Amino acid sequence: MSFLSYLINGISLGSVYAIIALGYTMVYGIARMLNFAHGDVIMVGGYAAFTCSMTLGISPVLSILAAVVVCTLLGVVIETIAYRPLLEAASPLAVLITAIGVSYFLQNAVLLIFGSNPKSFQSLISIPDLKLADGALNISGETIVTIISCIVIMVVLTLFVNKTKMGQAMLAVSEDKGAAQLSGINVNGTIALTFAIGSGLAAIAGVLLCSSYPSLSPYTGAMPGIKAFVAAVFGGIGSIPGAFLGGILLGVIEIMAKGYISTQLSDAIVFGVLIIVLLVKPSGLLGKKIQEKV
């Protein structure tokens, strides 16, 4: 029964990683850049939900919606001010350094506003726990909502990209920005929309993460952000199904390592598995090898 419990907890944690990784993989797939400030957008979403629910007394549903709106707008602002001027002329290294700078800016801004002391985050999920096997297996409401949310987001996002006009524009921009622009597609608007969607998903991930692990600080999003990036690379960065698969597998591996091997070594095991996978398949589990044209 402990194995089944570890597996469910791993899928739950992996679902959070998958939601975050979807933001990474969408931005990389379309803008060909790594937004390392994405983890801190998760933290901002947590603080937005915390402020609305704990300080202002707003209902949980409206608090979550407010967090999504705040992070969506933040994502658009970050893309417009920090990244857009660099995407055409600057080197990838300059964009990467800018992303790190944005990350530290968000962390220090929250430090100034809320202080460094961790906040006790009260779960916004009120679904009762599910007890199976005569109470031997307990599945928390947070776990149920997290897993269902991940599946729903994955399905909706896949349908959006493949079936809608804006989704087709995203695919066109990811293939060839120049050709997409000649076809009448607003490339900058499409990239901004991608940041908006990824940041909105980060807010949902932040609320789910803080509801399951009820502590919130300016550094809450740092390690989950890094692990979600690992999940995106693990599954094949640029691939939406790859981000989903990579996130789930990463969460299961981490929880199993903590349960059966060592809590202290779990992160090392996760990154070790990533290294082995990339040695065998450098493009990730579902990633495609890109042929460079010369």
Q: What average pLDDT does range 102-125 have in this prediction?
A: 91
pTM for this structure? 0.91
Helix (H/G/I), strand (E/B), else coil: 138 = strand
Containing domain of residue 96, as a range? 15-114+134-221
Apex CA 161: angle with CA 159 and CA 162, to 5°? 65
Helix (H/G/I), strand (E/B), else coil: 287 = coil
Report the domain count for the chain: 1
Q: What is the pLDDT of residue 29?
A: 83
Q: What average pLDDT does range 201-207 have in this prediction?
A: 93
Instruction: Average the pLDDT over each of 99-113, 130-144, 262-276 and give the range with the smallest value.
Output: 130-144
- pLDDT band of 135, cuts 50, 70, 90: low
Judge whether 105 lies within some domain. yes
pLDDT higher than threshold 80 for residue 87: no
Q: What is the pLDDT of residue 294?
A: 40
CA distance 1 to 13: 18
What type of residue is 259? G
The DSSP 8-state label assigned to residue 164 in this structure reads S
Asked if 71 and 44 count as a contact pair (C-beta separation under 8 A), the reply is yes
Judge whether 181 lies within some domain. yes
Judge whether 217 lies within some domain. yes
Judge whether 63 lies within some domain. yes
Judge whether 97 lies within some domain. yes
Judge whether 125 lies within some domain. no
Asked if 212 and 48 count as a contact pair (C-beta separation under 8 A), the reply is no
Q: What average pLDDT does range 206-211 have in this prediction?
A: 92
Q: What average pLDDT does range 158-184 have in this prediction?
A: 88
Q: What average pLDDT does range 84-96 have in this prediction?
A: 80
Output the furthest CA–CA distance in the chain (Å, rounded): 64
Q: What is the pLDDT of residue 208?
A: 93
CA distance 25 to 229: 8
Please, is 93 exposed, middle or buried when counting C-beta atoms within 10 Å of its C-beta (0-12, 13-18, 19+)? exposed
- pLDDT band of 289, cuts 50, 70, 90: low
CA distance 202 to 216: 15
Residue % of the chain over a pLDDT of 70: 96
Tokens of 117: 């002391």
Asked if 245 and 11 count as a contact pair (C-beta separation under 8 A), the reply is no
Instruction: Average the pLDDT over each of 105-119, 200-214, 265-279 and give the range with the smallest value.
Output: 265-279
Q: What is the pLDDT of residue 96?
A: 86
Average pLDDT of the chain? Answer: 88
Q: Name residue, tokens 């300080």.
A: 55
Q: What is the pLDDT of residue 7?
A: 92
Residue % of the chain over a pLDDT of 90: 44
Judge whether 75 lies within some domain. yes
Judge whether 269 lies within some domain. no
